[in-house]
Every structure is written in structure tokens, then in C-alpha cells.
Structure 1
Amino acid sequence: MQNGSPIIIAHRGASGYRPEHTLAAYELAIALGADYIEPDLVSTKDGVLIARHENEISETTDIARHAEFGHLRTTKIIDGESKTGWFTEDFTLTELKTLRAKERIPQVRFQNTAYDRLLEIPTLQEIIDLVKLKSGEINREIGIYPETKHPTYFQSIGLALEPPLLATLTANGYQGANAPVFIQSFEVSNLQDLSTKTHLPLVQLLNNTGKPYDFVVSGDERTYADLVTPSGLEEIAKYARAVGIHKNLLVPRDSSGRLQSPTSLVTDAHAAGLLVHAWTFRNEDCFLPLDFQGNPQGEYELFFSLGVDGVFSDYPDTAAYHATVQ
């Protein structure tokens, strides 16, 4: 699905307009011009893949209102961080279907709270069903861009994400390097393993701080900063088709939030044969650099001028418009 124009990846759906990771958010994203919709995937207790930003769901569901699940509130160490709340892997799909989604950042997107407690947690299969239905209705192929969340953690508790992900994709006809799918991860080893089991395009996510959690576990001393060097990108190209890059790695910000000169990262990644998908674009001033306060359109224009091949956006309509007029 990669063509001359940058692809628009609806980040958790049209999450600027609807609570993230809901069928309503994905459906609206498609209507607003997204090329791909992006579900973050975690597992239920019974091994079903569902879409949530995190496996801890107190921020994105009404779980705290469900007294019948009060005893399941607990504290866990997830990727080295202590988190307290309710975790998807402690619930069956049937139990999770009794919950309803809510807006994750109501202080920023108060208008989205109008949809609180109206929308279910969707499964990967339900998302695929929606994409296929809508693709047929609008006669335009919509892709999916799933992220495996905390893959080392889920592997450690016997709920590995990759086997059911590949099985579900295969069962739905997604096969081969040209399928409208990108599988993404912030970790490295699970993508390397996936590259031996599928020809579907893989995406190495690259943050502007820290290191992949599987590197922490294995004692690998490399950080994300090492992975964005020309030699690091060449290694990524051995197993991945693209890199999903924190936009501050492409155009750094100074301590005041003002943009500095672009780096060579887009050019370096392209030289290694990798597509570049930048994240995350949002319209609100609290997320924008000082240079583009009140002007999210200008930020898109800057990044498209750098030659990125796609953008993750909470507002796919804004992104799609500027992708077509660039």
C-alpha cells in the first residue's frame, strides 16, 4: 500500500475524536481518510488478542466501577516499572466484554468523554472484520498496523502475542510482503523471530530515550540511540521493512520546546532500504513544538518535506489533507 504519498496511520484510531482503541475510533479514522488503523495488542487470560494501549486498563476502561472485579486489583512489574491496577491477562474475554472504554486523557480531550462507557473493548478479529467491511463499502483497501505490547512480559507469563497474531492474520488472508499489514514492536528479538516465520512487513519502533526491554533482560548494552546510527539501521533492515521513529529523533527540540535542525535520520534509513514512519502527530498545542502552536498543519508540512513515508496521527483528517497537497 506504500505509494507516492505518505501513508496515514490512524494512531489508536481517530483518537483525537473518539476514545482510543474502540471500533468507533477505527471506523471514524477510515472515514477521515486513514490508510491504516493501529491497534495496540495485549492478551486476555484465555489468550485472545484485544486492543488496549496497555495491559493495565484503569485509565482506559470503567473497571474501577465494577465491584465484582475489585479483588483482581493488584501490583505488577511490567517492563521494569511497578504498576497498580487491573491487568487484561487476569480476565477472560467474556469478563472484559462487560467493561466499557473511556477517554484516556480527559483533561486534554474533554469532548471525547461524551462517549465514555458506551464502547466495548474490541478484539483483533473484530477490528479486522470492521476493516474488511469498510474497505468493501468505500472500495479502498485499508490496512492494519498492529503493535505487540510488552512482548517479553507476555512471553514470560505463557501468553505470547506473536502466535495468535500470525494465526489470526493468516486466517484472514493476510500473507506476503505486499499485504496491507505492518507488525510493529519496540522490542527487537520478537521482530527478528517473526521475520523467520512470516513475510509480512515488520516495523522496528525507535524511541528517543531508553532501550528495548528485551535488551534490558538479555543484558544487551545497546540503546535506541545505537539503533538509529547508520550501522544500527543496516542491522534493522535485515529483519524489518520500516522504522517507526519518534519524531523528535527526526527534528529535535531544544529545552524550550522549539525545533532545531533536522537530523540525517530519514536519509540514513532510506539508504539502508527502510521506510520511515514518524510518530505521533496531534493537533493540541500541549503536544506541538513552540514553532507550530495553533498550527498543526505546519508540523505535517515540515515532516513531509523531509521525505517521511508515513505518519502516525490522532487526527487522520488533518494528516490526510496535508499528505495529498504536499
Structure 2
Amino acid sequence: MDFPKPIIIGHRGACGHLPEHTLASYALAIELGADFVEPDLVATRDGALIARHENEIGGTTDVAAKFPDRKTRKVIDGKTVEGFFAEDLTLAEVRTLRAKERLPFRDQSRNGIFPVPTFEEIIALVRQKERETGRGIGLYPETKHPSYFRSIGLPLEGRLVEILDQNGYSGPDAPVFIQSFEMANLKDLRRMTEMPLIFLLGASEARPYDFTLAGDPRTFGDLATPAALAAIAAFARGIGPWKRLIVPEESDKSLGAPTALIADAHAAGLLVHPYTFRNEERYLAPAYHNAPSAEYRHFFALGVDGVFSDFPDTAATARTLFSQRPTQPRQKV
């Protein structure tokens, strides 16, 4: 894969500007400079893969108005969730839905306009934009709640690989990263495909849900050690850590000294793509003085290989400015 470095991953498209996981959001992300677009994938009742951040779709669509009788309560990854679920609707029913903005402090004016796309439709859009722009655009799909979907007879892995294969994506150099917070399904995917895999790392005290099911007490913090990273490198091409695993935030919101995670991951041969970078002040540490570009430059200087961004235009501008910084003179030793 040949892309600018560090890569810009359009997180759910350009969801800081348009409702997440819509074709319009992905298209805008590409227009604004994203190298990859990131669809989170869940399954419908008939096994189609659609782009939603969660299988509970009440917060991101008008499903409550169109299918009020589908409201129910389920246990997802050990937590009780009440709402409307993708796996309770057929693809035909999902196609009647329209997306809405999930976060109340973001623009709500485009609610009810955009349909919910399938993974195949996202791939078609990416191929179209490649032709229009003359540049490569990558896919960065995430399998959401894979243990849960497997438990209800709708495993995500085989269908995901099948769709990618049918569209010409295969091999270790494909412009694709498949990501997951669970390790077992990544190992299953490694047996199905040679495409690059990314193991996502959450907060230090949390643990992958497949570990919970297996009785494995290790946390994401335990999986960020040099020995654990070396083991991850046996099946994955990189890690996608929560950015606070790289630059900790203290209780007073000040930033701590960077950890060794980037260096340790690189030593194991792993790429590092932290998440999630956003423009809003509520998401920025005070040390950045409400300047999103300062956060990007900080992480670029630390050596990350890519960033997940809700605002790929800001990320791309920060990357350009960072690449143009004056070269520090070499000191004599």
C-alpha cells in the first residue's frame, strides 16, 4: 500500500461534518483528504453487512418512527442495551431508514436525508472516487461485536472477506485494514485472508470481550507490553490504540509524558494508528489551547503511522504543515 504518511483515516467518513456512516460522509472524507474511509460493520437479519457504529441503531436512524414494534432489550457484550437492532431488520427494511446525527452538539440539519449504506455500496463509492480523483483510497472496516454476532448465527468474518474478494481486494498489499477490538476473530480472519489486520486497544483497565467469554483476565493494558505486542505481530499488521495509551491524561486534565507504546510497537514490527481525533474543545486536552492542529502535530512528532479523525480536512492540513516544518540542524557529538 502506497499512501502519504502518516495516513489519514476518515473515521466513520467525515462525521464531524455529516451524519456518520453515510455515503455522503465517506465521499466528503475523500474530498477532504482522507486516505482511508472507515465503515463499522454490523449484520442485518438476512446477513447483509451495513455501516453502523453499533448494532443498536435507534440513535443513528429513524427506525423508532418506522418500526416502533421492534424495540427490545438485549445483552450485548455483557451489557444490557434497550433499543432497535440491525439484526432484527432485513436489508429491505434497513433500506427504508434514514440516518440522523448521533451527537446533539453537532449539526442536526441533515437528519432524515441519507440512507444506510451496505458495505458493497461503500466499496462502489471508493472505486468511483478513485477513478474521479486518480488516487488510491483505502478501506478500513471494523467488525463490531463479532462474538455477539457469531452467537446469534450471523458471523461477520466470512461475509466480510467474501465481499472484499469479490471486489478485487486480496493479499497482504491490498489497500485494506480490517480492525477489531477482539483478538479471536482477528485470528480467525488471519486464517481466511492475508489482508492486513489491526488489533484495537481500548482503555488500559478494559479487556476484549472475547477474553471475558474465555475467562482470560488480561486487559488492554496487559496487551500493550513489549511481549504482548510481539505476540500480536504474529497475526496483525498493526494496532489501533486509544490515544491516551500513547499520551496519558492526568486527573487534572494535564498531559503526562508519552509512553513507550509507539516505540515498543514499532520494535515488534507493528504500525500504530491511534483514535480518535476531533476538533471540538470538549475532546481536546487544555494543553492544546483549543487548537486541533496542535494535537495532530504532537502525535505526528511522536511517530504515529496514521490517525483516525472525525475531521479529515483538519488532519490533512496538519499533516501538510508538519511535513513542511524546518528540518532541525544535526548537532555535533
Interval of TM-score (by shorter of Structure 1 and Structure 2): over 0.9
Q: Tell me the matched-pair count.
A: 321
TM-score by length of 1: 0.97
Counterpart of 2:73 (choices 72, 75, 85) is 75
AA of the residue aligned to 2:142:
E
Q: How does 1:1-326 map to 2 (within 5 A)?
A: 1-3=1-3, 5-66=5-66, 69-106=67-104, 108-109=105-106, 111=107, 113-208=108-203, 209-326=205-322
Cα offset, 1:4, TM superposition: 5.8
SS in 2 for 1:203: strand
CA 1:217–1:258 in structure 2 vs 1: closer, same or farther (change >3 Å)?
Answer: same
Shifted more, 190-199 versus 145-154: the winner is 190-199
AA of the residue aligned to 2:139:
I
Cα offset, 1:325, TM superposition: 2.4
TM-score by length of 2: 0.95
Q: Distance in 2 between matches of 1:3 and 1:31?
A: 15
SS in 1 for 2:198: strand
Q: Distance in 1 between matches of 2:126 and 2:292?
A: 28
Cα deviations across residues 41-71 of structure 1 (Å, max 9, x unaligned)? 00000000000000001110011222xx222
Q: Which runs of 5+ in 1 are unaligned?
A: none
The answer (yes or no) to whether the contact 2:22–2:114 under 8 Å persists in 1 is yes
Q: Distance in 2 between matches of 1:309 and 1:253?
A: 21
Cα offset, 1:114, TM superposition: 1.0
Q: Distance in 1 between matches of 2:220 and 2:143?
A: 18
Q: Distance in 1 between matches of 2:6 and 2:213?
A: 35
Cα offset, 1:256, TM superposition: 1.9
AA of the residue aligned to 1:142:
I
Give aligned-pair identity as a percent: 56
Q: Which runs of 5+ in 2 are unaligned?
A: 323-333
Aligned to 2:328: none
Q: Distance in 1 between matches of 2:180 and 2:5?
A: 24
CA 1:195–1:31 in structure 2 vs 1: closer, same or farther (change >3 Å)?
Answer: same
Aligned to 2:325: none
- RMSD over aligned Cα, in angstroms? 0.9
AA of the residue aligned to 1:26:
Y
AA of the residue aligned to 1:249:
L
Cα offset, 1:2, TM superposition: 5.0
Q: Distance in 2 between matches of 1:54 and 1:323?
A: 30
